Amino acid sequence: MVRLDKEKAQREMMLRLGVRKEDIEERFVCSQGPGGQNVNKVSTCVYLKHIPTGIEVKCQVERSQAQNRFLARQILLKKIESIILGKLSQERKRIEKIRRQKRRRSRRAKLKMLESKRLHSVKKSFRSGVREIEVS
């Protein structure tokens, strides 16, 4: 079984992320692999689906259904958290990019840019074909 303090921490994480028990579809499936008679008789594999986001998780790490259920919820909550934090960080990146674009260039940056433009124009002038010089 899972310790009470871990269960409590998981419930707090669910509250923090706004995930309700009603939003999670839970099914138990027959496991495969090692585990002996317990695996063959008891459906220890846990399948969870978070309905609002559509995230699906399947866990059959342990022989115990309760432990697999706890682990599956942990994985599901971590995925939901990464999606939420990912959206926040994307918004932060977008705002920072706009701020950088609107920022004025320093004098040194302007000089550097103008110098590179000048060098580029010199390179392009060398690309022009060879002209014939008329001798009179």
Q: Could you tell me the CA-to-CA distances from 4 to 11, 67, 97 in Å, in that order?
A: 11, 12, 45
In a domain, 66, yes or no: yes
User: Is 27 domain-assigned?
Assistant: yes
Domain contains 103 = no
pLDDT digits (tens, 9 = 90+) for 99-125: 999 999 899 999 999 999 999 999 998
Query: In this structure, what CATH number is given to the domain that contains residue 34?
Result: 3.30.160.20
Could you read off the pLDDT of 29-85 as tens digits, one per residue? Answer: 887 777 677 777 788 899 999 999 899 999 988 888 889 999 999 999 999 988 888
Question: Which residue range is the domain that position 33 belongs to?
Answer: 4-97
Q: How far apart are alpha carbons 29 and 51 in whole angstroms?
A: 19
Tokens of 66: 């309760």
Residue 123 lies in a domain: no
SS3 state of residue 29: strand
Counting the structural domains of the chain, the total is 1
**Domain assignment present for 19:** yes
Q: Is residue 102 part of a domain?
A: no
